[in-house]
Amino acid sequence: SAVISQKPSRDICQRGTSLTIQCQVDSQVTMMFWYRQQPGQSLTLIATANQGSEATYESGFVIDKFPISRPNLTFSTLTVSNMSPEDSSIYLCSVEPGTTEAFFGQGTRLTVV
Amino acid sequence: GQNIDQPTEMTATEGAIVQINCTYQTSGFNGLFWYQQHAGEAPTFLSYNVLDGLEEKGRFSSFLSRSKGYSYLLLKELQMKDSASYLCAVKDSNYQLIWGAGTKLIIKP
């Protein structure tokens, strides 16, 4: 199993600014996943973060908008840059330490005004 | 493309049984998962099926038919705390999780 501490839990930000979300895992994991979940919708994978290499971004997501850091095997950050109201969403980090279940951070509820 | 379909919303009565269906079309299959997500919270793992058949875990059971691309989650003896969204997810050939939009389950007394 894995326990993930994610912060902040929520924030209200001005458009044009940036927010960095942090996730700390209680064990070493190879990959960390960053998701976005808009109200009433499924989880959408933004990128996969590996330690020591650049993150792999999914279609529709770019590094300039969502830069990711992965300095070690227990920590990662996702930055939402130059925010607009369309970026208002819940952002979740996740790990899969075994071959089956995924574990999630508590989520960051972002509102851009 | 890859697609997972599940009903948007279901309503059931406390103490009853409810079945939430999920159909999937993915490039490859490496397991099907059900997660529970209470409003404002992160998803939590409920069940995992990789072979055909029924997996039972307490009040919750999950069924898989790979040939039909079909699964269901069965919840028995419903309690008010079971009110939540239930997410179906499949791992594709790249072991990437593909998520359904979730089924919001409303339990009435």
Mean pLDDT computed over A20-28: 96
Interface test with A, best of B32, B97, B103 (most A CBs within 10 A): B97
The DSSP line for B54-83 is EEEETTEEEEEETTTTEEEEEE-S--GGG-
According to DSSP, the residues that pair with A21 across neighbouring strands are A78
Per-residue model confidence as pLDDT tens digits over B24-78 = 999 999 999 999 999 888 999 999 999 999 999 999 999 999 999 999 999 999 9
Q: Is residue B79 pLDDT above 90, yes or no?
A: yes
What is the pLDDT, as a whole number, of residue A11?
Answer: 97
Find chain B residues with C-beta within 8 A of A106's C-beta: 41-42
Q: Do B87 and A102 touch (CB under 8 A)?
A: no
Q: Is residue A99 pLDDT above 80, yes or no?
A: no
Among all residues of chain B, which has the CA nearest to that of A109?
Answer: B40
What is the pLDDT, as a whole number, of residue B1?
Answer: 76
Q: Do B41 and A106 touch (CB under 8 A)?
A: yes
Tokens found for residue A59: 């279609």
Q: Which of residues 23-82 of A touch B (CB under 8 A)?
A: 40-45
| Cα radius of gyration rounded to whole Å, chain B | 13
Q: Compare CB distances from A100 to B4, B43, B48 and report the shortest one's residue.
A: B48
Nearest one of A39, A48, A92, A90 to A70, comparing CA atoms: A48
Per-residue model confidence as pLDDT tens digits over A35-81 = 999 887 889 999 999 888 889 999 999 999 999 999 999 999 999 99
